[in-house]
Amino acid sequence: MPLSIIHYPHPTLRHKSRPVARVDRRLKSLVDEMLDLMYQHDGVGLAANQVDLPIRLFVANPSGTKGDGEEWVVINPEIDRHKGSEADREGCLSLPGLYGQVKRPRLVRLQGYDLAGKEIKTTLDGFLGRIVQHETDHLDGVLFFDRMTEESRREVEGPLDEFESEFRALVANGTIGSDETLLAQRKEWEDAYT
Residue 188's pLDDT is 86
Residue 30's pLDDT is 96
Q: Which helix (H) or strand (E) holds 73?
A: strand 72-83
Using 50 as the pLDDT threshold, list the residues of the chain that sit under it.
none
Give the residues across from 18 on adjacent strands.
Answer: 55
Q: How many CB atoms lie within 10 A of CB 186?
A: 20
Are 74 and 131 in contact by the 8 Å Cβ rule? The answer is no
Which residue among the candidates 135, 164, 166, 180 is catalytic per the annotation?
A: 135
Report d(CA 10, CA 6) in Å as an integer. Answer: 7
- Count of all residues that appear for the chain in the document: 194
Q: Which helix (H) or strand (E) holds 108?
A: strand 107-113
SS3 28: helix
Are 77 and 58 in contact by the 8 Å Cβ rule? The answer is yes
Residue 194's pLDDT is 82
Report d(CA 140, CA 18) in Å as an integer. Answer: 9
- Determine whether 135 is an active site residue: yes
Is the bond into 9 cis (omega within 30 degrees of 0)? yes
CA torsion through residues 19, 51, 192, 58, sign: negative
Residue 182's pLDDT is 83
Type of residue numbered 194: T
Type of residue numbered 122: T
